[in-house]
Each structure stands twice: as C-alpha cells, then as structure tokens.
Structure 1
Amino acid sequence: MTSLQQRRSPLADPRQQIATLAALNLGTTATQGKFSQALANHGWASLTPAPLEIFQINVGKLCNMTCRHCHVDAGPDRKEVMSWETIQACLRALDQTAAHTVDITGGAPELNPHFRFLVDQCVDRGKQVIDRCNLTVLLLPGLEDLPTWLAARGVEIVCSLPHHRPRSTDAQRGDGTFAKSIEALRRLNTVGYGQGNSRQRLTLVSNPVGAFLSGNQGAMEREWQVSLQQHHGVSFDRLITLNNMPISRYLEWLEQSGNLQAYMERLVNAFNPGTVAGLMCRHTLSVSWDGRLFDCDFNQMLDLEMQLPQEPRPHIQDFDPSLLMQRQIVTQRHCFGCTAGSGSSCGGAIAS
C-alpha cells in the first residue's frame, strides 16, 4: 500500500473526502446525518470548548509504515515534517497555557529530527508527555535506544496495535507487522514499560479491523492482557479503543468494500449524547506540522481549521490563548465517529 497522495487518489484532497460524506443519503437516520441536529436534540446549541488540558502536536506525516486505516495518510513517501521554527513556536505557545499534557503524534513522530529536543523541552516544563508510537519504528537503525531514552524521561508510550492476533493486525498494517510489534513491546517491557509503573506507562490502542464499532474497552483490555501474556510474554498497562474515522485511507477502504453507507448509518444511529461533554476537541488544541491550529486531529486531516474571532487562518506563531474559549468547534459528519457507542477520543472510550 502507498499513500493516497502518492497514488494521486481524489481522496487525497480533504475537500473530496468531505464531499463524499456529505453526498451520502442518510435520510433514514434519526437526524438525517446532521451532527448539529444530533447535538441540538440533546441541548447543545453548538459544540463549545472546555478549559485546555492537552496540547497536541502533529510533528509530521512521515512514517515508516503505510497502514490501511490511517486517517493521516502517512507513509515513507510523505515529506511534511515540522520545522525547528514551528517547534519553537509551539513551545512558546505551550508556555502561555495551563495544559498539563503534551501529546506528540504523526506519522511516526520519532522520525522528526527535532523529536528528542521537543520531548526534553516539554519534560523540563513539567508536562506529561505522550509519544504516539507505531511500535515498529523502535526497531529502525538509530532508534533502538528510544525505549530506554523515553523511559528515563517518564514519557507515556501510546502504541497502535489493532488486534492481539497476528492475522488481524497484519491485515490492517502489513505482513509481518505483528511480529515486529511484539518485539518492540518486549524491548519496552525490558526497560520498565508495562509493569504498572506510572512513570513508564504503556498504553495500547485498538481500532476495529472492519466496518463496525469498537467493543467494550474494559472487557477487551482483560482479553488482550491474558492473550499477549500467555502467547507472547508481553504486558501493558491499559488498552484504549477507537472507532475508525470515516476519512482518508479508511474512507477509501469503506468505499471500495461497499461498506460506506452502512458504516455511516451505524455511526449516526449509535450517537451517544453521554460522549459529548468528554469529546477531545473540547479540551485539546491540535497543531499541524505547518503550525496551523485545529480543534482536533481529525479536523486537521480534513483541513477544517479552528475558527477563532478575528483570525481567519489561525497559526501557532500568532497564538493567543484568550481566543480559544471564544470559539465554536467546527463539526461535520465525520464527528459521528467520536460520538458513536461508548465514544472515541485520543484517550479511548468516553462513556460507559
């Protein structure tokens, strides 16, 4: 598999993705597929922000993998990498906020040449740092020391692993990926990750391998802990579950497999009002590799920029924290992916 961009797919254009979702006839669903109506039915005139807690930085789309479900359309062919100047601007902005967590994502964030500098700067500021890791990147030449390096700094590693069975993971991420992921997990265990130590917390992220919603997070965590320990001798601290967002390469798969209509109907009909208060867009600032500001990582990939008063195209270089609470969060049909069932956010399920 290669990226949508490299294949020059029409879906490489975020506007085409938005148009594809908007063109679906969802008239048989409770809200006709209107996210704003789903909110209004439960007392939300609009989606408004809560106090900022998480400062999320996407340091680039470069990745050593090209996964079928990737909402970033990341891959080895992507050249978008956050510059030194933009990272410095992120740090200046971070200092103006009360955010307690810095969530570093990509692509494979470890491939950004300034990744270690950014981590050190955030740790020095007393922030909890999350590295969103694909696991296999830890096996690359020159990066083998990362488990020890991250452990010494108390960085939480949040790792993508679609399933605890090899076949399902490889189907989504490529042949041989599961075996490499297990080797990376063993290396993380060796330096203290996944052993119940809050300073070396190891979190796995599961998303469905198919066109259905995530299962019960608690039950899945117990199943995964038993399976990975018994069959592979590895341990982790927690599992979080995410619904697949109907954008980018997963949107392409939905179209090609004939599942798009049914999947969107499933998302809309599974709208859970109990998830709205905890949506990540309400307490997260998402910074793109080029410094633009978004309400969440998914909006970022659809080029739906944050709407700030008197800031037509908000950028981290011009960051003004006083404007954040004055905005209305940008929503469209893809947002049903975060509110379906138990909900889905960067921190996993939202509602029980």
Structure 2
Amino acid sequence: MDGPKRTTSLYGRRTPLARPAAQIEALDAVDLAAGPTGTGSFHRDLVASGWERGLTPAPLEIVQINIGKLCNMTCRHCHVDSGPDRTEENMDRAAVDACLAAIDHIQAHPDGGSLHTVDLTGGAPELNPHFEYLVDECVARGLHVIDRCNLTILLVRRYRHLPQWLAERGVEVACSLPHYRKLGTDAQRGDGTYDKSIRALAALNEAGYGQGDPDKVLTLVTNPVGSFLAGSQASLEAEWKAALQRYHSVSFDRLFALNNMPMSRYLEWLLEKGQLDAYMDRLLGAFNPAAIDGLMCRNTISVGWDGKIYDCDFNQQLEMDAAVPFGHVADFDLDAWQARTVRTERHCYGCTAGAGSSCGGATA
C-alpha cells in the first residue's frame, strides 16, 4: 500500500519543513482554483459561505492540552512531528497547574457552564510525568477526560496498569488506528504496530472498555492511508466493528474518521510523492460550508506543552498564536477568549472537506 510509512521527526532531521513558517509557505505556493470563490483563500471562502466576521467562537466546551511531543512512535502522518527524540517539549508541573487554574477560572465564570471536557493529547500524553496527576485533578473537578492514546504505549511495562487505572476514573480512551487491517496500519505507523494495537485493544476490553458502558468509552480514530479524504464515518464504524470482532474478538464504542492535515510529516510525504497540489485541490473541491459550525476551533481552547494558547491543535503546531491580548494559559481570560476571531490559513481546508473533520470526528 502506497501510504506514508514510519519515519524520524522533521525536528530530528533538521529539515526545512521543521519550521512552521516553511509549511505555511509550501501551502501558499500551491496554485488553487477550487473552492467557493476560486481564490484559494480560506477566509474569503468563509465570507462567501456566510461567515462575514470570520470564524467566531461558540460557547467554550473543551480544554485540549497537548502535554508534550514525546512519543514512543514516529508515524509518517503525524501533524505534531512527535517522536522519541522530542524530549525537551514536555509540560512541567507549573504549566499543568496553570491549566488547572484556568479551568477553575472558567468554571467560576458566569459563562463557563458549558465546559465539560478536558482532552489530553501529545505525543503520547501518558509519557508526561504529570499525566496521572492532571487526570485526577480534572476528574475531581467533575470534568470528562479524554486520553488520546496511540495504543502501543499500553504495552510498555511502566504503563500496563493504565487500562484499569483509566477505567476506574471514567476516562474516555481515544485510540489511533489507521485501519482494521494489518497492511493499512503498518503502512502508516511502522511494521509490528498493528499486532501491538490489537493486543492493547484486548487489554482495554478486559478493563471494561468498548462494551457500551458510558463511563468506559473506547473511541477509535482513523486517518486515510494515502492522499484521499476520510470516508463516511457511520459506514466505516459499522464495517470496523464487524471486522475487528470477527477477526480479533475486540470491540469498541465509536469511530472518528478524520482527514489528514496537509502539514508537518504528512505534508512532507505529499511533497515527496508530488501529490500536494492534487490533495489541496481535493480538499477545496470538497469544501463543505455545513462543516464550519462544528469546527473544534470554535468550542475549544488548545494549550501547548509550554502553556501557550491557540485556537486549535493544528494552529498550535503551526505556531499561529490566538488573537487575544494574552499568550499563556496562566493569564487566561474567558471574556477575551470569547471575543476573539479564530485565525485561519490554508490548512483549515482539511477540517472543512467532505463531512468535516475535528478531534471529535465528522462535523457535518
């Protein structure tokens, strides 16, 4: 299968694309004529779709915290460029506590009642030394917690207790799995990944996940292996559930089908294959105004490993600061956050193509 294969990080190889500015320049260099206005301008296409003021916030529902770029894997499609060599970018206790203080500020605010979820991502978030502390503190605040897990980390001796530990706290586990077949998964994430992932899913099932229990939700997250868009989420979910049960006797609760974002290591692969122009045309050709309302940048704050804040995890990786008068979560102010306009660039077409794509799956 001609999909992205495991690699080393852009950061570790010191390639030009390791710079977020170089990634934006690569996207801006593509000659685009599709989309509602035919300009290749995401902002103009937003305006043409009825969003005259640009992307404005919805009530804040989710705090997503990227607690580090350290990961035990180096997948070719990773938009974070995470890997074993990203040891420096790991959230410290002071930044963790600043996140918790911001959550307290939101919950105490008259307009903070919509906040219901803390979404922990990475890298492999479990590798952060403060992961369990942060989970416990968020659960104590009555919030739903999501652990974005790469599955293979659960087979590392030090973390084998996590399926049961997370289940006891009602943490949702959202797991990356490119395909329910071995070939598709190993093509994107490296040889041997699929077998390890199935073993990890079995361990989660044994802990009570994937059995329909609302307190032990097991979500699988898939990205296409190649340069095409995500298929129908509902159809894929039914297909995946049947296949994984039939071949491996493992089960899960729901599936999120996400488009690959044209940035970081996936962007590098598109450029190497000479497919960037075609992929961008595909995204613009599938631009769907109905997907805009549910974009995660509207109801989510994204916090980086160093405490800096962004509109979404994708803007975070491109170092696109949010348009607010403060830059760190320690200074978070809900009123200013809700008054901002979300910053956009061409990578945003990835979230508005087809049925839409966000950390919560399809948006339309």
TM range (shorter): over 0.9
> 2:25 pairs with 19, 27, 35, which one?
19
Following TM superposition, the consecutive aligned residue runs of length 4 or more in structure 1 with deviations greater than 6 angstroms are none
**Post-superposition shift, 1:75?**
0.2
> 2:350 pairs with 330, 337, 340, which one?
337
Distance 2:150 2:172 in 1: 13
Is the CA contact (8 Å cut-off) linking 2:34 and 2:284 kept in structure 1?
no
Amino acid at match of 2:125: P
1:40 paired to 2:53? no
Distance 2:163 2:185 in 1: 22
Distance 2:259 2:144 in 1: 25
**Post-superposition shift, 1:33?**
1.0
> 1:4 pairs with 2, 6, 10, which one?
10
> 1:316 pairs with 306, 318, 329, which one?
329
Q: Residue 204 of structure 1 aligns to a residue in which SS?
A: strand
Q: Residue 105 of structure 2 aligns to a residue in which SS?
A: coil
Is the CA contact (8 Å cut-off) linking 2:91 and 2:305 kept in structure 1?
yes
CA deviations 1:237-286 (Å, max 9, x no partner) are 00011000000000000000111000001101111000111100000000
- Structure 1 partner of 2:142: 126
Amino acid at match of 1:178: Y
Please list every run of 5 or more consecutive structure 2 residues that lacks an aligned counterpart in the other structure: 1-6, 107-111
Q: Residue 212 of structure 2 aligns to a residue in which SS?
A: coil
CA deviations 1:147-187 (Å, max 9, x no partner) are 00000000000000000000000000000000000000000
CA deviations 1:215-235 (Å, max 9, x no partner) are 000000000000000001100
Distance 2:274 2:66 in 1: 31
Distance 2:284 2:39 in 1: 8
**Post-superposition shift, 1:49?**
0.5
- Structure 1 partner of 2:93: 84
Please, what is the CA RMSD of the aligned residues? 0.8
Amino acid at match of 2:317: M
**Post-superposition shift, 1:293?**
0.5
Q: Residue 94 of structure 2 aligns to a residue in which SS?
A: helix
Is the CA contact (8 Å cut-off) linking 2:34 and 2:285 kept in structure 1?
no
- Structure 1 partner of 2:105: 96
**Post-superposition shift, 1:90?**
0.2
Distance 1:143 1:222 in 2: 30
1:325 paired to 2:341? no
Q: Residue 95 of structure 1 aligns to a residue in which SS?
A: helix
Distance 2:339 2:35 in 1: 32
- Structure 2 partner of 1:289: 305
Q: Residue 158 of structure 1 aligns to a residue in which SS?
A: strand
- Structure 2 partner of 1:165: 181
> 1:306 pairs with 306, 311, 322, which one?
322
Amino acid at match of 1:327: R
How many residue pairs align between the two structures? Answer: 348
Please list every run of 5 or more consecutive structure 1 residues that lacks an aligned counterpart in the other structure: none
Percentage of matched positions with identical amino acids: 60
Amino acid at match of 2:57: P
Amino acid at match of 2:84: P
Q: Residue 234 of structure 1 aligns to a residue in which SS?
A: coil
Distance 1:72 1:165 in 2: 25
Amino acid at match of 2:47: A
CA deviations 1:109-134 (Å, max 9, x no partner) are 00000000000000000000000000
**Post-superposition shift, 1:32?**
2.0
CA deviations 1:17-37 (Å, max 9, x no partner) are 000001111135543211011
Amino acid at match of 2:83: G
1:203 paired to 2:226? no
Amino acid at match of 1:171: A
Distance 2:117 2:104 in 1: 12
> 1:49 pairs with 52, 57, 70, which one?
57
Distance 1:345 1:216 in 2: 14
Distance 1:61 1:259 in 2: 27
Amino acid at match of 2:85: D
Amino acid at match of 2:248: H
Q: Residue 164 of structure 1 aligns to a residue in which SS?
A: coil
Normalising to structure 1: TM-score of the pair? 0.98
Normalising to structure 2: TM-score of the pair? 0.95
> 1:180 pairs with 196, 206, 211, which one?
196
Distance 1:21 1:81 in 2: 28
> 2:283 pairs with 247, 251, 267, which one?
267
The equivalences for 1:188-267 within 5 A come to 188-267=204-283
**Post-superposition shift, 1:317?**
1.4
Amino acid at match of 1:10: P
Amino acid at match of 1:90: C
